[in-house]
Chains A and B, each alone.
Chain A
Amino acid sequence: MAERKRKLDLRRSLARTALNIVLVGMCAAWMVPTVGLLISSLRPKELIALSGWWEAFRTPLRFTLENYVNVLSRANMGTSFLNSLMIAIPGTLIPICVAAYAAYTFAWMEFKGKEGLYLIVVALIAVPIQLTLIPVLTLFNRLGLTGSFIAVWLAHAAYGLPFSIYLLRNFIGQLPRSMLESAFIDGASHPTVFFRLVLPTSLPAIASLGIFQFMWVWNDLLVALIYLGGTPDVAPMTVTMANMVNSYGGGWEYLTAAAFVSMALPLVVFFALQKYFVRGILAGSVKE
């Protein structure tokens, strides 16, 4: 009996060790590409091209911030960082404001054709934005908006709407009926209920959605590429970086630092607000 137990324990601990080894291996495999680039971005230009990043820890240690200084001052990344903010903040705020009204309407008002309209919104979530590029670009050209921030704000607002309405409706629809009804009985109007009751209680959902949408817009390349037309003074970091890859494909001292400048904000957001980000992803994909 004791013998058998010892064998079982041994097998358990062996399995546990194997499990940990596999997990550590996978995590390492997932981290190495990013870590390698980060270390390279801190090495002097000549060394990046001369030896692999793993050689960086051989003495004498030679690390520098020169690549970052160069990229921010000369390679237009400073302006691009600002442009990315210019695009991402309204590109997050506008769709959420608009979606909140629609979500509240779908959740708490009755009207003809509600079900059908909502199904269209759900169907639009999956539509590839490629289907809209030509007509929208034509429209922006006609209005003279191509190359302006307003164009990308409007585009991101519209593209983000179906998912935003869906996510917020799920949340707002689950608020207790009694809470809203008693407010109406007290004589509150719809705007009052919406601004005083629904919006404050929906803040966790809005936070999740906000982070999600912000990351999406911040990391977007296609929308900016098409509606901003690649002029450097409005280009966000994704566009500037894609251009850098094309123009100095092997200029690793620029590319490594540029990549990290563009990753800095999403990574901070991710680590600070991981819970909300994950919750947003879950809310969007799992059955309500």
Chain B
Amino acid sequence: MKLISLLVAVTAVPALLTAYVYLAERLISGKRQKQPTAGGGARPWLWLAPAFVLLATFLVYPIINTIILSFRDARATNFVGLANYVHVFTDSGMLVVLRNNAAWLIFFTVGTLGFGLLMAILSDKVKWEPVAKAAIFIPMAISFVAAGVIWRFMFEYRPAGEVQIGTINAALTALNPQFEPMAFLFDTRTNNVALIAVGIWMWTGFAMVILSAGLKGIPTELIEASRIDGASELQIFFRVILPLAAPTIAVVATTLMVNVLKIFDIVYVMTNGSLGTEVIANRMYKELFNYRNFGRASAIAVVLLVAVAPVMVINIKRFRESRKSHG
């Protein structure tokens, strides 16, 4: 049964779309003279229609609706003004959520960029570059849920004196017999750091791949010339490579920021937001499914939108610039 509907979906959708375009073409050319390259007319709109129906139904309309809902009460019936937003920025639980997202934003972005840059630079200098890159990149191919399982196992904790089966506690006790094993995911001093580390582990490969492509675009003569002029490797890095790679770093940083602001899966699988690890997306999920409060859930989502808005503006600006330079 499932397989049949799968087959229907994968054959019917392309077939219908193909038929649709040919049908539209017949309708248009039946009315007017055929002028394929001429501007205007209904053709562009007919071609865009499938995409726009999907975008309007599942993105544009819901975004507007969510913004409206954020000014309504839990059941979306009465207008409550800014009450939901007041809650978002004053409730003590929400303040922890906002603090955590700020921590994720800073440490995740800096950590991922740092390790990504380090790997991009170092791997470029060895012959086994593809192998090194694959090792770092693999986590990018797996789900956050699988990564969550992998790292719960790494952080696994047994009381002192018992055999530690979690790699990190085992390694630390082996290095220092005085070390008191820690429940990294439950200890409020370490749990957020532990979660962010998982995020960095997953995304470093992404940063590395893009930064590496950017670095390879820097002309080698430039680096050789500074080397001949007697610049040290560190000077070359800070004075030559870093400024030239800055645009690429900016692209990676903005992408990382957009993705970290809506981080959900890692927290959901590893702690489910307990013990002060909740982030915006998890809080929204709880408001929606546990407390059934549509107003608050919407307000939290709108905060998320406001947080990514600067990145959207940057993307549009960058796109316009590249348009101008490419004609």
Contact = CB atoms under 8 A, between A and B. Distances in A.
A185 to B, nearest CB: 9
Nearest to A112: B40
Interface in A91-110: 93-94, 97-99, 101-102, 104-105, 109-110
A124 B316 CA distance: 10
Given A93-B14, A111-B45, A123-B315, A131 B305 contact: yes
Contacts of B320: 119
B214 A286 contact: yes
Interface string A112-152: 10100101111111111111111110010000000001000
Nearest to B125: A19
Interface residues on A, range: 35 or more
Contacts of B17: 97-98, 101
A76 interface: no
A262 B145 contact: yes
Interface string A70-87: 000000000000110110
B149 A37 contact: yes
B153 A36 contact: yes
Given A126-B311, A181-B37, A98 B62 contact: no
Given A37-B153, A130-B301, A190-B25, A30 B204 contact: yes
A165 interface: yes
B265 interface: yes
Contacts, number: 332
A189 to B, nearest CB: 6
Contact of A128 (B6, B251, B308): B308
Contact of B149 (A114, A194, A225, A245): A245
Interface residues on B, range: 35 or more
B238 interface: no
Given A31-B135, A102-B47, 19 more contacts: A27-B131, A27-B136, A32-B167, A36-B167, A90-B6, A90-B9, A105-B48, A124-B60, A132-B66, A135-B69, A136-B58, A149-B2, A149-B5, A158-B54, A188-B36, A242-B148, A249-B152, A262-B146, A285-B251
Q: Sorted from nearest, which 10 A-B pairs have the closest CB atoms?
A: A158-B58, A110-B39, A219-B143, A135-B62, A132-B62, A102-B51, A270-B141, A111-B44, A27-B135, A135-B65
- Majority DSSP secondary structure for residues of B touching A: helix
B184 interface: no
B258 interface: yes
A168 B275 CA distance: 44
A266 B66 contact: no
A49 interface: yes
A157 interface: yes
Interface in A20-54: 20, 22-23, 26-27, 30-34, 36-37, 40, 48-54
A8 to B, nearest CB: 13
B6 A288 contact: no
A285 B51 CA distance: 22
Interface string B1-12: 010011001100
Contacts of A262: 142-143, 145-146
Instruction: Pick from A99, A117, A132, A193 the residue with the most CB of B within 10 Å.
Output: A132
A220 B320 CA distance: 31
A122 B148 CA distance: 31
A121 B265 CA distance: 26
B163 interface: yes
A245 B119 contact: no
Interface string A234-256: 00011001100110010010011
A259 interface: yes
Given A19-B126, A30-B139, A130-B304, A263 B36 contact: no
A285 to B, nearest CB: 5
A98 B51 contact: yes
Contacts of B316: 119, 122-123
Interface of A: 19-20, 22-23, 26-27, 30-34, 36-37, 40, 48-54, 82-83, 85-86, 89-90, 93-94, 97-99, 101-102, 104-105, 109-112, 114, 117, 119-136, 139, 149, 153-155, 157-159, 161-162, 165, 181, 184, 188-191, 193-195, 215, 218-222, 225-226, 237-238, 241-242, 245-246, 249, 252, 255-256, 258-259, 262-263, 266-267, 269-271, 274, 277-278, 281-282, 285-288
Interface of B: 2, 5-6, 9-10, 13-14, 17-18, 21-22, 25, 29, 34, 36-37, 39-41, 43-45, 47-48, 50-52, 54-55, 57-63, 65-66, 69, 115, 118-119, 122-123, 125-126, 131-132, 134-139, 141-146, 148-154, 163-167, 170, 201, 204, 206, 209-210, 213-214, 247-248, 251-252, 255, 258, 261-262, 264-265, 268-269, 272, 280-281, 284-285, 288, 294, 297-298, 300-302, 304-305, 308, 311-312, 315-316, 318-320, 322, 326
